[in-house]
Amino acid sequence: MRDSRVRVVVLCPHFAPDTAPTGTVMTRIVDELVSLGVRVDVVTALPWYRRHAIEAGWGGRWVRREATTWGSITRVHPFPGTDKRNLLRRALGFVGYSALAGLQGLRCGGWFRRVDAVIAMSPPLTLGITGRVVAWSRRSALIFNIQDVFPDAAVETGAITNSRIIAVARWLERVSYRLADAVTVLSEDLAVNVRAKMPASSADRVHVISNFVDTEVIRPGDRRTPYRTELGLGDGPVVLYGGNVGFSQSLDLVVAAAEALPDVEFLINGDGAARSTLEERSGHLPNLHFAGYIEAHRLSELLATGDIHVVPLKAGLGAVSVPSKTYSIMAAGRPVVASIDPDTAVPRMLAESGGGISVPPDDPDEFIAALRTLLDDPERAARLGAGGRSWVVDNASPAAVGSAYRALISMLAGRSAPS
């Protein structure tokens, strides 16, 4: 009997059990699509995010396939480099991964079998062209999911300065957008950015579908966590940054705040290209602690450990990136201090929810003043945390996001969407 279910192929760089934030997002989107009766075949990388190397137990083969009750998962070698700052090596790794993922995208669920849509995630941008090839071969529409606008973020931070590399990246970006039948972005800011790089006749291909958080899994918790004890943070207030320690984040602000507030413990929890430099610069600060990525099942514990969470993003990046960690912090009932371009997605979300305080980017005085305000008024901090929690419960559910993707797939495939 012919399988009449909607069928989708997903190409993404990370997927459970990998711990990358984009992997968490796509894993839950897949879960929601499956709950709506969609068959999904995922092509992703072998887990590698935490240490920028393939996790123990996953090596030995370039391709691993797994059948599931709802479709399949194919994991391929991500070709990670040992030096995160070597952009050429990373670019070659992305090309190699995208090519291998594309080959598996042609075969998952049956060689060249027709599907209703291919969903490809960026970064890396190279998956845009890979997705188009797979979509053509499988006679389907391509949905290009943009988590961060690249190369804008890398150019703004100075991570890419070579004019030829920038030109190639911008060309690849434009081509990827134009090859897609639909481009999904996380905010209106990103939509304006992407539409400006597409022909006017294609502007209606850009759709805003925000990220989300599972408020059943992430809940407010007791601040006296086992993790706090493990790190020796004591019982006093903890200001926490959790996530990628890269060049897009203004983590110099955290160093400045730790210097200005010696009675407060600060924790930078994560890894990335900028971590070693930050640790060297802040070695004289006994109240600034560093720790690597925590296991995924302990995320709620990590979020509960911080009394105040910070989301610092360098100037110019607020319109090209929406840090998904903000949703998780709010779900955990903790107040946010965001140092991000005004009138972009995160400041608007905090203003609407009352979940935190926004200050201009790269301004240590304003950043420290906002932290002092909440540290001196724990009752206000608690009210902000509760407001953020209430807002994400009402506005950022996984079910709503899954339904939005299901409706988009149905529209592109000419099918009727479920009610």
Dist. CA 352–CA 376, nearest whole Å: 23
128 in a domain, yes or no? yes
Mean pLDDT of 52-61: 86
Whether residue 197 sits in one domain with residue 83 = yes
Whether residue 287 sits in one domain with residue 241 = yes
418 in a domain, yes or no? no
Whether residue 147 sits in one domain with residue 75 = yes
Whether residue 385 sits in one domain with residue 402 = no
Closest listed residue to residue 221, CA positions, set 294, 299, 298, 300: 300
Whether residue 128 sits in one domain with residue 102 = yes
Whether residue 87 sits in one domain with residue 26 = yes
Whether residue 160 sits in one domain with residue 85 = yes
Whether residue 321 sits in one domain with residue 205 = no
Work out the pLDDT band at 229, boundaries 50, 70, 90: very high
Note the pLDDT tens digit of each residue in 302-353. 999 999 999 999 998 888 888 888 999 999 999 999 999 999 999 999 999 9
2 in a domain, yes or no? no
396 in Cβ contact with 211 (< 8 Å): yes
CATH number where 351 lies: 3.40.50.2000
Whether residue 326 sits in one domain with residue 405 = no
Find where tokens 């991964």 sit: 97
Whether residue 243 sits in one domain with residue 171 = no
Q: Average per-residue pLDDT in the chain?
A: 91
81 in a domain, yes or no? yes
Note the pLDDT tens digit of each residue in 160-184. 778 888 898 899 999 999 999 999 9
> How many domains does the chain fold into?
2
193 in a domain, yes or no? yes
Q: How far is CA 412 from CA 204, 233, 400, 406, in A?
A: 13, 52, 19, 10
170 in Cβ contact with 133 (< 8 Å): no
Q: Is the pTM above the cut of 0.85?
A: no
Whether residue 151 sits in one domain with residue 14 = yes
Dist. CA 333–CA 221, nearest whole Å: 8
221 in a domain, yes or no? no
192 in a domain, yes or no? yes
Kindly write down the DSSP assignment for every residue of 156-210, as one continuous string: HHTS---HHHHHHHHHHHHHHHHH-SEEEESSHHHHHHHHTTS-GGGGGGEEE--
Which residues span the domain enclosing 336? 226-395
Whether residue 390 sits in one domain with residue 247 = yes
Find where tokens 């996380």 sit: 186
Note the pLDDT tens digit of each residue in 73-128. 999 999 887 666 666 677 788 889 999 999 999 999 888 899 999 999 998 889 99
Of all residues in the chain, the percent with pLDDT exceeding 90 is 68
Indicate if the alpha-carbon torsion angle 299, 27, 246, 387 is positive or negative: negative
217 in a domain, yes or no? no
Residue 208, both tokens: 């805003």
